[in-house]
Every structure is written in structure tokens, then in C-alpha cells.
Amino acid sequence: METMHTVCSECLREVDAAYVVEHEAVDIRGVSVEGEFKHLICPECGERIGQLDIAGRNLDKMYRAYREKLDIPQPEEIVALRKGYGFTQRVFAAILDIGVASLQRYEQGALASDSHAQLLRQARDPRFLRDRLRQGARKLSEEERAHALQAVTAQCSGRVDYAVIRFDVLDGMAHEESLETGMRAFDPDRLREVVAYLAAHVRDLYRTKLNKILFYLDFASYRDTGRGFTGLRYAKADFGPVPDQYELMMGALVDGAALALREQGEGQVVVARRGADLSSFTPDEVARLDAVCAFANTFETASALSEFSHQEPGWCETPTGSLIPYAYAEGLQWGGADGGPIAQP
Ligand SMILES: [Zn+2]
């Protein structure tokens, strides 16, 4: 048994104390984490002997468990990320817009604040850093920014997404181009980028709101171009048009990596953890996305958009639970991106 000759901090006797490993649940910032923590136990009084290096090791272990639970990069991952891009601490901190001293502390094991933790998570994705560099990073000089942009852009292409989507689920619902899919084959990657874009540009993107926006995006696209936008099928639910099997689809798509859910008010809002990659979208398609975002933002509340969707002939005339045929796109209330009157809410 591993022991240590020391003075007990509780009974102050000189003892040979044994190390004991105990499984404990501890609370860190309101999050319960579990782990095996080592303590030095006094053989005389039975209390834990307070010792700085043991306390430090235990705290480090708790922080690690906390980060793991919340998917926050560990200190060595932060260092590896930064070095992977070839950034100094100053440059990396400037891109994330956090203090250099904070970044240094996180690399040495301090626990990041919630907002900084979110930035560190997002920093795993070079596209997020690219977007931030394009949008400013004003603490950097022009040369530094250009240099950094080159470094992250090099990592953007051909990269496997950290948001490893659960393809088994999405493939299970994948469908070929047909009248039901708006003559477009369903593509989960494309849908993920669409939703990431909507999350960044639509105010309070509640899940129910997202369903309707996708419906308008797809049906207007089909009406204007003869092809839907995402290849999703839509069904009539009591509260509006929804992507077919949307619970399954949302669960696979919003998996906490690229897309996550945040509790807000009485519902859940879809948030993007990184910028959308629209490199495979045409300018017309991007304009179409912007138009549907603007359309959605004209509604004060999610329920106003919901009520608007309840006037859609496709929704009114389809039996609950049945697929809404894309043929109804002709009578869509929203004018869409290609001109025509945009219906006022
Ligand atoms: Zn003691």
C-alpha cells in the first residue's frame, strides 16, 4: 500500500498515511461529474489529510471530466489546435477575441468561462476561424490576418467535418429524386449547411420555425426552378408542414457538433456552432437562402409564421400525416426569391 509519512492536517499527529482512491460525484458549475479521486487518509483520526498537490491533481481530474462531459477542448487539445494552425498564443487569442492571459491559463489547465468554452469548441473547425478572420480580428495587423487566413483556408478544403453526422440514420431516410422530393435527391451534407446558415441568419430559430422555413425554401425553389432545395419530403402535421420523419432527421442533424439545441423560452432553438460552408452552392442558391431568411424575419414570432403556413393550400388540403405533394408549390403564398409579391404577414 502506498503511504506517506506526514503530519495530519486534522489531528496534527505525525502518521504514516495511506492513499485511498474513492469514486465520487462532484459538482462543478452546476454540472455533476464523476471520477476516481485519490486521497490521503489519516490512520489515527480517519480524516482526509489536506495536501496541496493531491488537491491540485483532483481538481485537474474534475476539470477534465467536466470538459469531457461538455465537449470542451482539453488543455493539450487547445495547444495542438493552435500549433496545428501555426499560431502563436497572441494570434490565436486575437482571432477568438479573448485575452492572451486567458488563453495561456486555459492551455495550462484553467477552466474556461462558458462563452470562451464555446469559442474553443468552435475553433476546432477551420471554417469558423476563417469566418472570424474575414469578419475582423481587429487586433491583428493586415499581414498577420492575411497569413492566418492562408493557414486556416488551407485546412478548410477536403476536411472531414468534426460534426460527424450519424449517416446511418440519415442514410436510412435518404431518398431518390422524385415528385415527392421536389425532383432533388436528398443530401444530408447540403441540408446541414442550409440549417447552419439559417441558424446564423434567422432570429430565434425554434425547431418548429425551422420546419416551416425549410418548407418555404423547398417549395418556392421547386416552383421557381423545377427543383426543390434540399430533397426533403414534407408531411402535414397538425401545427404546420414538417419534413417527413423530422424528429429522426433533427436528432441526426442537430447532434451537438455543427448544430446544437439551446433551451430558450418555452422551446428549443437551433444554433450553429460554426459558420455554414456554402462553397458548393451557386450565387442564385445563396440569394435564395438570404430571401427565405428575410421572409422568416418579417414574422415577429414563430407562431405568426406558423399561422401564415396554415393558409397554405398544400397544408389545408392534405390529410394529416400524409406527404404534401410538391405540385402545391404553384399556389404558394410566398413570392420567393425570383420576384413576385412577397406576401405580407
Ligand atoms: Zn489525523
pLDDT tens-digit readout, 297-312:
999 988 899 999 999 9
Task: Please identify every residue whose CB atom is under 5 Å from ligand 1, which is an ion.
Answer: 8, 10-11, 42, 44-45
Helix (H) or strand (E) holding 317: helix 313-317
Residue 344 has pLDDT above 60, yes or no: no
What grid cell was written down for 125? 473547425
Distance from residue 5's CA to the centre of ligand 1 (Å): 12
14 Cα to the center of ligand 1, angstroms: 8
Q: Is the pTM of this model over 0.85?
A: no
Q: How far is the CA of 27 from the centre of ligand 1 (A)?
A: 26
**What 3-state DSSP class applies to 153?**
helix
Q: Where are the domains of the chain?
A: 3-70, 75-156, 167-331
Measured CA distances, 62 to 75, 80, 83, 108, 114 (Å): 13, 21, 26, 15, 16
Please give the CATH number for the structural domain made up of 3-70: 3.10.20
Query: Cα of 4 to ligand 1 centre, how many Å?
Result: 13
> How far, in Å, CA of 308 to CA of 327, rounded?
19
> What torsion do the CA atoms of 250, 254, 255, 258 make, to the nearest 10 degrees?
150
Contact predicate 17/3, CB 8 Å: yes
3-state percent helix, strand, coil for the chain, nearest multiple of 5: 50, 15, 35
258-286 pLDDT, tens digit each:
888 888 887 888 998 888 999 999 999 99
How far away, in angstroms, is 247 Cα from ligand 1 center? Answer: 57
Percentage of the chain with pLDDT > 90? 49
Nine cell digits for residue 189: 451534407
| 3-state DSSP assignment of residue 333 | coil
- Residues 293 and 213: their CA atoms lie apart, in Å, by 8
**Cα–Cα distance measured from residue 238 to residue 320, given in angstroms and rounded to the nearest whole number:** 7
